[in-house]
């Protein structure tokens, strides 16, 4: 069998054989830019529907590399220069405040990084690392694989803002059932899927039956603190976190953590679905082009800036070669590649992710007119929302060092803090013998076998004030990214984080001998200065994130900041859509990877329905 795959370099995975044809000037029905949770499944779905589809990826295929294929290696994967793109972001407009972030990263000039608050003389400030993955399958190839679904309100928000009932939570569940291949429940659960392309599994939680373990004691104390029955914890920890049902978003409970991996610990991601589509005997018309950087969307000049016409996207301009984007640590200064254009008969779909999709739109003339003018980019569509509305989950952790190891499994708990503005849960936490304090080159810090952490994800953050803006008109440059943490309703979000930390901390002493005392490292260093105000200041300075969304947000016709309509179509132009995490108008739950795969499945339905309607006309 021969795979229809184009590669600019011979660096493509050995598992995929490059085909010398079609030529770079070929025309496809659809061009999809980016192979992550949004674009990868969408390209496969379009090809399986019979449409010739080109999927463009700036990186290589690492599907057979154990660093990525084995889900347990996720820390190594996120640090690996084979696929890593380093974005250096800001958390606020206050430079002095950002310099208090303990893991601020600097370029020493000798090929190494310095991470910390006291850089050596001459070191160049880089910022706060936000690693992304340039590889077939996108960031679903380097994440920890945690799979959770949005609250019903997150779906209903889109339905209400756009007036499109197809976004209602009750309707969206079908997309989860379509893509899931559940490997942890008996077949027949009507809320799950068993024949999809995305394997889901859970860890063995039998350790919770052993009352003599320090972590079982912590587990029971957490049950008491959250109104659950301590005698039932061995059962509660196996509760399905992806279950559907009334009031599920308001239920405080332990759960089994689901990952998008199979029962053998092998990562399941868009990479698997893309490769299965390429290998299928049905010979679906999917072509994958690796090591290719999209520089802009190409428009039919006859439709641009002409009275009575709407600009139409007809293809993309690409630069071919490996490590061309300057976020790639392997990038060689002044390296470029040959530039060409590839055409689409039907549509171009941008799926570059929350940072790169708005950058590509702006480089193509779609975005805030004033910003485009700064870089002498001709305006195709003045859309002020492109690159704005950047949001993320706030994340923080309570880290302690015990007198002895607290070895067992992982406690997963979703709960509501007292000051949460609604009845919905607002904290997703997981506790265990690990260390996680955010991202920097070489993360995480290993505190030894006695380390114990409860990591928190704050759901439904109230501030989405961040932005992704051009640093230049050069498509090889990174954009300027500022999350503006806590800028809106920050005191409320910080109060919820502190309340979450206080509840979790109250369980540590229950670990008992020989693990106690668990000496806290942060936010209350060595158990001192543990006032709510001190903790809030800690989280304000040290919170981190890695679930960026919403920079090309879906919205209603009357919303001037809406970039997309309810069918993912870019407003003000034709033949162009955005399908990835940037499309979310609000941050979807605690982890966006699986929700974005659902979003991708919906986009496939919308695009195919439009194509059939056009064909029938």
Beta-sheet strands, E only, within 321-373? 339-350, 366-367
Kindly give, in sequence order, each residue whose CB lies less than 8 Å from that of residue 374, ignoring residues fewer than 6 positions away: 470
- Helix or strand run (H / E) with residue 371: helix 369-374
How many secondary structure helices (H) and strands (E) does the chain include? Answer: 14, 25
Residue 99's Cβ-side half-sphere holds a number of Cα atoms within 13 Å equal to 8
Q: How many CB atoms lie under 10 A from the CB of residue 87?
A: 20
Residue 144 labelled as part of a binding site: yes
Cα angle at 471 between 89 and 115, to 5 degrees? 30
Kindly give, in sequence order, each residue whose CB lies less than 8 Å from that of residue 118, ignoring residues fewer than 6 positions away: none
Measure the CA–CA gap between 61 and 44, rounded to whole angstroms.
Answer: 16
Residue 145 labelled as part of a binding site: yes
Measure the CA–CA gap between 147 and 255, rounded to whole angstroms.
Answer: 12
Nearest to 413 by CA among 247, 216, 214, 226: 226
**Sheet of 84-89: strands edge to edge?**
84-89, 124-133, 105-107, 113-115
Q: How many residues does the chain have?
A: 617
Whether the CB-CB separation of 114 and 105 falls below 8 Å is answered with yes
Residue 52's Cβ-side half-sphere holds a number of Cα atoms within 13 Å equal to 11
Distance of CA 561 to the CA centre of its chain: 22
Measure the CA–CA gap between 95 and 222, rounded to whole angstroms.
Answer: 39
Cα angle at 208 between 205 and 212, to 5 degrees? 145
Q: How many CB atoms lie under 10 A from the CB of residue 408?
A: 18
Q: Could you give the dihedral angle defined by the CA atoms of residues 148, 149, 153 and 154, in that order, rounded to the nearest 10 degrees?
A: 90
Cα angle at 142 between 416 and 292, to 5 degrees? 130
Q: Which residues participate in the annotated binding site?
A: 143-146, 294
Q: Which residues participate in the annotated binding site for FAD?
A: 143-146, 294
């Amino acid at each position: 069998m021969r795979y229809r795959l184009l590669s600019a370099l011979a660096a493509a995975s050995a598992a995929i054989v490059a085909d010398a044809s079609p030529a770079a000037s070929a025309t496809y029905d659809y061009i999809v830019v980016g192979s992550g949770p949004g674009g990868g499944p969408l390209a496969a779905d379009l090809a399986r529907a019979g449409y010739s589809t080109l999927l463009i990826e700036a990186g290589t295929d690492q599907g057979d590399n154990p660093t990525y294929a084995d889900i347990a290696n996720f820390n190594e994967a996120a640090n690996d220069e084979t696929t890593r793109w380093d974005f250096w972001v800001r958390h606020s407009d206050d430079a002095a405040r950002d310099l208090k972030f303990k893991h601020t990263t600097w370029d020493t000039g000798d090929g190494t990084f310095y991470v910390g608050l006291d850089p050596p003389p001459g070191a160049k400030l880089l910022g706060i690392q936000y690693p992304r993955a340039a590889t077939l399958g996108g960031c679903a190839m380097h994440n920890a694989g945690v799979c959770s679904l949005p609250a019903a309100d997150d779906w209903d928000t889109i339905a209400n803002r756009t007036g499109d009932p197809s976004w209602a939570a009750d309707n969206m569940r079908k997309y989860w059932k379509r893509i899931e291949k559940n490997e942890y429940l008996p077949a027949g659960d009507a809320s799950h899927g068993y024949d999809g392309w995305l394997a889901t599994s859970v860890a063995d939680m039998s350790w919770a039956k052993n009352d003599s373990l320090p972590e079982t004691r912590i587990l029971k104390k957490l049950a008491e603190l959250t109104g659950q029955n301590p005698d039932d914890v061995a059962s509660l920890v196996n509760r399905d976190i992806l279950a559907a049902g009334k009031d599920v978003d308001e239920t405080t409970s332990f759960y089994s953590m689901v990952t998008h991996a199979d029962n053998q610990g092998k990562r399941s991601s868009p990479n698997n679905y893309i490769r299965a589509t390429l290998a299928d005997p049905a010979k679906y018309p999917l072509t994958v082009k690796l090591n290719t950087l999209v520089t802009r969307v190409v428009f039919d000049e006859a439709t641009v800036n002409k009275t009575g016409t709407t600009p139409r996207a007809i293809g993309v301009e690409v630069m071919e070669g490996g490590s061309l984007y300057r976020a790639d640590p392997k990038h060689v200064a002044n390296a470029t590649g040959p530039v060409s254009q590839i055409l689409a008969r039907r549509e171009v779909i941008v799926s570059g992710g929350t940072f790169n999709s708005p950058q590509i739109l702006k480089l193509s003339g779609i975005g805030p007119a004033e910003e485009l003018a700064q870089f002498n980019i001709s305006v195709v569509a003045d859309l002020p929302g492109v690159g704005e509305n950047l949001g993320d989950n706030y994340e923080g952790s309570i880290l302690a060092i015990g007198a002895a190891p607290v070895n067992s499994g992982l406690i997963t708990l979703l709960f509501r803090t007292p000051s949460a503005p609604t009845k919905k849960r607002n904290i997703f936490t997981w506790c265990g013998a690990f260390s996680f304090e955010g991202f920097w080159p070489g993360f995480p810090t290993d505190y030894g076998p006695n380390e114990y952490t409860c990591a928190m994800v704050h759901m439904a953050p109230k501030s989405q004030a961040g932005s992704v803006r051009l640093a230049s008109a050069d498509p090889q440059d990174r954009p300027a990214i500022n999350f503006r943490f806590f800028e809106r309703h920050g005191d409320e979000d910080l109060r919820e984080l502190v309340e979450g930390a206080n509840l979790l901390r109250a369980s540590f002493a229950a670990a008992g001998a020989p693990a106690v005392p668990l000496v806290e490292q942060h936010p209350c260093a060595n158990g001192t200065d543990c006032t709510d105000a001190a903790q809030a200041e800690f989280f304000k300075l040290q919170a981190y994130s890695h679930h960026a969304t919403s920079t090309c947000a879906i919205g209603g016709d009357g919303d001037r900041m809406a970039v997309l309509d309810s069918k993912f179509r870019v407003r003000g132009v034709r033949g162009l859509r955005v399908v990835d995490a940037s499309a979310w108008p609000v941050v979807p739950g605690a982890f966006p990877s699986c929700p974005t795969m659902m979003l991708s499945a919906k986009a496939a339905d919308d695009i195919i329905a439009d194509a059939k309607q056009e064909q029938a006309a």
